[in-house]
Amino acid sequence: MRTMPLSKAFTLIEPGPVVWVTTWDGKKNNVMTISWTMVLDFTPRFALTTGAWNYSFRALDKTRECVLAIPGADLLDVVVGIGTCSGADTDKFAKFHLTPVPARIVQAPLIKECLANIECKVVDIVRRHDIIVLEAVAAHISTGRKETRILHAVGDGTFIVDGRRLDRRKAMASKLPPGV
Amino acid sequence: MRTMPLSKAFTLIEPGPVVWVTTWDGKKNNVMTISWTMVLDFTPRFALTTGAWNYSFRALDKTRECVLAIPGADLLDVVVGIGTCSGADTDKFAKFHLTPVPARIVQAPLIKECLANIECKVVDIVRRHDIIVLEAVAAHISTGRKETRILHAVGDGTFIVDGRRLDRRKAMASKLPPGV
């Protein structure tokens, strides 16, 4: 993994990937699968939807830290596995053979098998809407991967894999933030 | 266009599409391109990021209504065109040959050329984070389209088109909401 400039980290979330959120509650690591995320600004800050019904929420609320890890399309069945069990009774890193890697700033782990990892601090919890506001503090990208496509959950049990990438950088130039 | 059950409408936003937001300010229609959206619940409610710097925000704030329209991949250059001009000085429906269609509940128009359209009411504006909270009140889907792939913006001027769809409905069954 190599460091990715924070000015580019919003491009990891903007396309709408399936995301793993890792947490460390003081005793153990945990990870959940979510798709309900969005970019808030180019800092970057991100929003995600979760709340008290969710086991990982306790660690997020207590530690105010997490990592957003982006699995490649080759990890689809692990995405489904992680999304259908709970950290309340399962050590998901062990069960799914994921490798926790110490992060640079937060206590939550990076995931070695992922395409990218974003270390985040919780800056606010908008409880009336179950929105968690995160600020990225470090980003890491894996290099030399054969599988670089991400997954998009539809929400009905099907998942779309990235297809072709179309370049409109020239036409979009006036709207791109600095450093991208 | 035919009516889509509201219980399925979250599946239009969960994969992270490029979205057009249409508004009617009392005098004219407008449309903007955004990618910063997420699902909040299965009602469905959605969140999107925008604020006072944005021309469409005024109409959203005043009328508390909009339509989320999902363009297909064949409309990429219109997506880029709409994203790089402003409703302040441009009639985007005329310039880009989009056909406004009266919605069922809201005053903002549906877009005939889109794959799907979701009529929404603004239920809250979280001004400290520039988050708009929407509740869907009607959804429409176009049938018989040759192009059904959606676009995912990366944020650097490139766009990813949907690739293959992988079916994990059986494995995900325990986590799917009713009516999907």
Query: pLDDT tens track of chain B, all 180 residues?
Result: 999 999 999 999 999 999 999 999 999 999 999 999 999 999 999 999 999 999 999 999 999 999 999 999 999 999 999 999 999 999 999 999 999 999 999 999 999 999 999 999 999 999 999 999 999 999 999 999 999 999 999 999 999 999 999 999 999 999 999 989
* Per-domain boundaries in chain B: 2-175
pLDDT, position B142 = 97
Quote the pTM value.
Answer: 0.97
Chain A's closest residue to B179, CA to CA, is A156
Tokens representing A66 are 């997490």
pLDDT, position B59 = 96
Mean pLDDT of A28-53: 97
Count interface pairs A-B at CB distance under 8 A: 204
pLDDT, position B85 = 94
Mark yes or no for CB contact B155/A39 under 8 Å: yes
Spell out which residues of chain A touch residue B161, defining contact as CB-CB under 8 Å.
Answer: 163-166
CATH number of B2-175: 2.30.110.10
Mark yes or no for CB contact B152/A16 under 8 Å: yes
Mean residue pLDDT of chain A comes to 97
Mark yes or no for CB contact B11/A156 under 8 Å: yes
Tell me which residue in A35, A39, A172 faces B84 most closely, judged by beta carbons. A172
pLDDT, position B159 = 98
Mean pLDDT of A119-136: 98
Cα distance from A9 to chain B (closest Cα, Å)?
10
Chain B's closest residue to A77, CA to CA, is B168
